[in-house]
């Protein structure tokens, strides 16, 4: 922390050089640097205010600077244009040589030479022309780009921020609030203990596990899931049962062929990986309900995610082979209400008025199924009151055609937030994957206009290979990914990613920084000032005082701050009891003789790790028996769901 603060102090001597979230900066650098909370970087515009010799001196003393193209500053550091421009569009980055990086527009770029001590991070793929290089000098470093990064900041150099990290710069802030989807069928050979530790280090707070693999009891599979939940809880990660009705499970499909959903072509509805069941059938619904109840009771879940409970397909009625639901129960119900069998719409030229009747009925049916299953899960929560409930629902505000394509109507489901203790997790549809990071603030604006419960609305980002023409990479990675995560996390109450293994290994270390949203950070080595509406971790080493008081929430290289404005200073010694990890929203924390007190808010039971276990504990002023999960030489304190104030005195040691 001291080295970072000293660098900030050095740069604060230069007007405009200290990058803080509260200070507007010209694009694209504000978007690039703020996406991972990088502070104290001299942008090309900042460098222009310095003589070349003065810039070199600043870098030597600890500054980090960025230059673009040919300039006196670049030449003074040994970077020179030596040959005429060559066309550049296809780029290779040395971190991911196999990654296809294509610029949308070909650009003529001079051929540069860089000094021998430079690290060349990216080149033109065919001729090897240097495009991005870094030089370490003294305590600081220089990042040089052959051309500017583009208007949005991610058009040309996906791994620009990785290069700054290679030079020694680290994000100033982090958070541990990410939800991630997990399908064990893709990760069976990975050690759950290793995965859980890595997930928590990378900011994951909850894992949404594909529960259909475990719908029916199986000794080997159940053992694996129990081990996974055990490993997650050991690392203070919540685990949710991710359910994909009307897909129930592979065995459910095999055992009950009479209950299978039908497409408009008359075939069983095995569409992509999902094998859809007819939940409109009473017997099918009862069997699925009993199976779900058993699933929730058989494992130690923290919540349940009822995901994508609507129909197929994204091509809508234009593709009968994928269009559902067309089972006998639905056809009979609709025929009795409207006087014609909806299958007729696919056996000749469709009547537009009749088609509209069925598409509206279909959307209403999807909403009815969602309401029924939310109510059913609410009944199950009477015996498992700590369970959180999430409804994952694809957005159709940006893409209105989605309602007719799959029956998903976000406007119709929003009133549930007024009645139920739940979170609506909004998923951007596949048709919007090419719309760029700014779609997330726009989505939040549209939902905020429709509900007063935005604290219950979260966002799900699909990190996938996109089928549209997108640049510079088919899948979000590097700067584009970080901008998506940062903007989404700032716009919504919670951020989820689909799915955890789709984020590249070299991107994961930056994810915690994208989740933090400080409104400002500034100061000197002896006095930092930070503020945030949501709370975050400020990079720090050693004991700390916050607002003049010894601070017990210091761990993993960060001082963890609740919402508000704070003054952080070096502390004299570590408090007797330290809060090492808390999977909940920290509202306050303070050291007390022989113990600690803190308040928090959590939608499921809170999981906390301390440097010493409690001996006596009080929750909201009432004596409480500490509930502790013991994990070999580690333990986790389990705390009640909701908003609570906790204090405890500690045992003499572990």
For 121-138, the pLDDT digits (tens) are: 999 999 999 999 999 999
List b or e across 274-310, with b for residues whose CB sees 16 or more CB atoms inside 10 angstroms: bbbbbbbbeebbebbbebbbebbeebbbbbbbbbbbb
Instruction: Tell me the pLDDT band of 15, cut-offs 50, 70 and 90.
Output: very low
For 296-321, the pLDDT digits (tens) are: 999 999 999 999 999 987 789 999 99
d(CA 534, CA 177): 11
Q: Is the dihedral of CA 19, 20, 22, 27 positive or negative?
A: positive
pLDDT of residue 257: 98
Given a contact cutoff of 8 angstroms between Cβ atoms, the answer to whether 142 and 67 are in contact is yes
pLDDT of residue 350: 79
Q: Is 653's pLDDT higher than 70?
A: no
For 335-388, the pLDDT digits (tens) are: 999 999 999 999 988 799 999 999 999 999 999 999 999 999 999 999 999 999
Residue 482 token pair: 């970080």
pLDDT of residue 529: 97
What mean pLDDT is reported for the chain?
93
Nearest CA to 406 out of 447, 365, 462 is that of 365
**DSSP assignment of 294-314, as one string?**
HHHHHS--SEEEEE--S---T
pLDDT of residue 187: 80
Rounded average pLDDT over 497-517: 97
**CATH superfamily label, 178-511:** Glycosidases (3.20.20.80)
d(CA 492, CA 237): 20
**Which is more confident, 651 or 623?**
623
pLDDT of residue 21: 39
Nearest CA to 526 out of 568, 574, 561 is that of 568
pLDDT of residue 293: 98
pTM: 0.94
For 393-448, the pLDDT digits (tens) are: 999 999 899 999 999 999 999 999 999 999 999 999 888 899 999 999 999 999 99
CATH ID of 2-171, from 3.40.50, 2.50.20, 3.40.630, 3.30.70 = 3.40.50
Instruction: Tell me the pLDDT band of 9, cut-offs 50, 70 and 90.
Output: very low
State which of 4-8, 26-30, 419-423 shows the largest mean pLDDT.
419-423
Q: What percentage of the chain has pLDDT greater than the value 70?
A: 95
Query: Burial of 604 by CB count in 10 Å (0-12 exposed, 13-18 middle, 19+ buried)?
Result: buried
For 582-599, the pLDDT digits (tens) are: 999 999 999 999 999 999
Q: Name the strands in the sheet holding 564-570, side by side, starting at the edge strand that comes first in the sequence.
A: 518-524, 527-532, 564-570, 544-546, 549-550
SS (H, E, C) 226-240: HHHHHHHHHCCCEEE
pLDDT of residue 189: 82
Residue 557 token pair: 């290289």
pLDDT of residue 174: 98
647: β partners: 597, 618
Q: Which helix (H) or strand (E) holds 418?
A: helix 416-419
Rounded average pLDDT over 586-615: 96
d(CA 241, CA 380): 13
In 116-203, beta strands by DSSP E: 119-124, 130-137, 140-145, 173-174, 178-182
pLDDT of residue 652: 67
Token pair 């739940």: residue: 422
d(CA 573, CA 167): 32
Expressed in percent and rounded to 5, the helix, strand and coil fractions of the chain are 30, 30, 35
For 166-195, the pLDDT digits (tens) are: 999 999 999 999 999 999 987 878 899 999
For 54-109, the pLDDT digits (tens) are: 999 999 999 999 999 999 999 999 999 999 999 999 999 999 999 999 999 999 99
Boundaries of CATH 3.40.50 in the chain?
2-171
For 199-209, the pLDDT digits (tens) are: 999 999 999 99
């Amino acid at each position: 922390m001291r080295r970072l603060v000293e660098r900030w102090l050095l740069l604060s001597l230069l007007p405009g050089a200290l990058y803080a979230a509260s200070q507007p900066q010209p694009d694209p650098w504000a978007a690039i640097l703020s996406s991972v909370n990088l502070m104290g970087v001299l942008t090309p515009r900042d460098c222009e205010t310095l003589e070349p010799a003065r810039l070199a001196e600043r870098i030597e003393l600890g500054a980090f600077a960025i230059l673009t193209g040919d300039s006196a500053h670049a030449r003074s550091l040994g970077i020179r244009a030596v040959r005429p421009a060559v066309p550049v569009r296809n780029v290779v980055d040395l971190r991911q040589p196999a990654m296809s990086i294509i610029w949308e527009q070909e650009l003529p770029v001079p051929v540069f030479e860089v000094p021998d001590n430079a690290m060349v991070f990216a080149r033109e793929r065919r001729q090897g022309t240097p495009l991005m290089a870094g030089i370490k000098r003294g305590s600081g470093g220089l990042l040089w780009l052959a051309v500017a990064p583009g208007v949005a900041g991610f058009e040309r150099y996906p791994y620009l921020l990785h290069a700054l990290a290679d030079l020694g710069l680290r994000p100033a802030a982090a958070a541990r609030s990410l939800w991630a989807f997990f399908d064990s069928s893709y990760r069976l050979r990975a050690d759950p203990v290793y995965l859980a530790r890595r997930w928590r280090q990378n900011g994951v707070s909850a894992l949404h596990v594909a529960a259909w693999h475990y719908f029916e009891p199986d000794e080997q599979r159940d053992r694996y899931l129990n081990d996974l939940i055990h490993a997650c809880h050991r690392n203070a990660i919540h685990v949710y049962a991710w359910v994909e009705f009307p897909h129930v499970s592979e065995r459910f499909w095999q055992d009950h062929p009479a209950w299978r959903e039908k497409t408009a072509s008359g075939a069983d509805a095995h569409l992509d990986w999902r094998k859809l069941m007819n939940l409109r059938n009473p017997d099918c619904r009862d069997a699925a309900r009993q199976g779900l109840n058993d699933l929730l009771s058989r494992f130690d879940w923290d919540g349940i995610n009822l995901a994508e409970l609507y129909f197929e397909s994204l091509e809508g009625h234009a593709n009968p082979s994928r269009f559902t639901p067309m089972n006998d129960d639905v056809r009979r119900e609709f025929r009795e209400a409207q006087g014609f069998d909806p299958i007729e719409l696919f056996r000749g030229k469709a009547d537009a008025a009749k088609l509209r009747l069925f598409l509206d009925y279909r959307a209403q049916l999807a909403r009815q199924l969602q309401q029924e299953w939310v109510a059913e899960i609410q009944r199950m929560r009477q015996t498992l009151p700590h369970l959180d409930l999430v409804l994952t629902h694809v957005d159709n505000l940006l893409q209105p055609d989605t309602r007719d394509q799959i029956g998903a109507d976000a406007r119709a489901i929003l009133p549930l937030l007024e009645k139920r203790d739940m979170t609506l997790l909004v998923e951007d549809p596949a048709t919007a994957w090419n719309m760029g990071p700014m779609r997330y603030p726009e989505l939040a604006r549209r939902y905020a206009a429709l509900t007063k419960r935005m604290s219950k609305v979260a966002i799900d980002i699909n990190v996938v290979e996109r089928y549209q023409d997108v640049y510079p990479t088919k899948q979000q990675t590097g700067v584009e990914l970080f901008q998506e995560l940062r903007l989404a996390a700032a716009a919504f109450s919670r951020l989820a990613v689909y799915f955890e293994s789709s984020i590249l290994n070299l991107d994961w270390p930056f994810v915690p920084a994208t989740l933090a949203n400080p409104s400002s950070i500034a100061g000197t080595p002896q006095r930092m000032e930070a503020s945030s509406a949501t709370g975050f971790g400020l990079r720090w080493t050693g004991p700390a005082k916050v607002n003049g008081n010894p601070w017990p929430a210091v761990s993993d290289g960060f001082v963890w701050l609740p919402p508000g404005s704070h003054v952080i200073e070096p502390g004299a010694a570590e408090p007797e009891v330290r809060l090492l990890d808390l999977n909940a929203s920290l509202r306050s924390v303070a050291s007390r003789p022989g113990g600690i007190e803190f308040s928090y808010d959590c939608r499921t039971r809170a999981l906390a790790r301390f440097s010493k276990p409690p001996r006596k504990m009080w929750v909201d002023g009432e004596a409480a028996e500490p509930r502790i999960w013991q994990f070999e030489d580690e333990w986790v304190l389990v705390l009640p769901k909701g908003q609570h104030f906790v204090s405890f005195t500690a045992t003499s040691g572990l």
